[in-house]
Amino acid sequence: MNKMLDCSGKVVVVTGGAGRIGKHLAQAFALAGAEVVVADIDEKAAAAVSDLLQQQGHRAMSLLLDIADESSIVQCIALLKARFQAIDVWVNNAYPRTADWGVKLEDIPAESWRKNVDMHLIGYCLCCQKVAEHMKVLGTGSIINISSIYGIIAPDFSVYEGTAMTSAAPYAAIKGGIVQFTRYLASYYGPSGVRVNSVSPGGVFDNQPGSFVKAYISKTPLRRMATVGDVAGAVLFLGSEASAYITGHNLVVDGGYSIQ
């Protein structure tokens, strides 16, 4: 492995680490030599991911974390500080949402807006607030926030025609907020040696309906959807020393979709 991507000795926390993308992020950092903390609200699933990594010869542990609960965040960070002294990389990847996620814009109740913004956007904000202060004392650290191309461009709803799929309205508001808050944090904590960046993936292939995949690919210069490996590679780069002079950046991983 390229030495610049080597994360040996680093403690890396992946929130939502038991999810579809999160477990691949955890594996990418584990392969790079990091001590990986799989943090997730689903404690059993997180343990399964960390156990698998350990079986593969990597250093990993699981931890219960609900990013919508400030006390859970504080407890998680305190536990990690006591165990490792340093948290080197924190990846905000968790994806909490309400049961009515995806209903039409005109039908979204006010309370649903509040809950989704509170759980997802404010959850990321609180994680950043707490862990950045820890990294500030150390004089180093990298925070990576997972956003989306729908945080920087509007959806093309034509790609969803003929399917039950759509793009949830709160998603745009939340992910756009994450991109801008990342820039704010980078400016605020830069003098302390803490880097903060975001990654905005395009559509990630997950056996979606064929009509959607065909329509999406037709609008993508690289003529394919993203893989979880594409996203993991970008996040690993931002968590490694290969990106030591990069902060406040939103790394778009979309095969060129957003340039059209």
Place of tokens 């959607």: 212
Helix pair angle (122-138, 70-84), 10° resolution:
30
- Examine the residue annotation and report whether 171 is marked as an active-site residue of this protein: yes
Distance of alpha carbon 206 from alpha carbon 225, whole angstroms: 9
Q: Which of 79, 46, 43 is nearest to 60 (CA)?
A: 46
Helix, strand or coil for residue 80? Answer: helix
- Give the DSSP letter of residue 23: H
Q: Is 31 in contact with 58 (CB distance < 8 Å)?
A: yes
* Rg, the chain, Cα only: 18
* Angle subtended at Cα 256 by Cα 255 and Cα 260, rounded to the nearest 5 degrees: 145
- Distance spanning both ends of the chain, measured CA to CA: 34
Residue tagged active-site, from 160, 171, 216, 257: 171
Q: Is 119 in contact with 97 (CB distance < 8 Å)?
A: yes
Residues designated as active site: 171
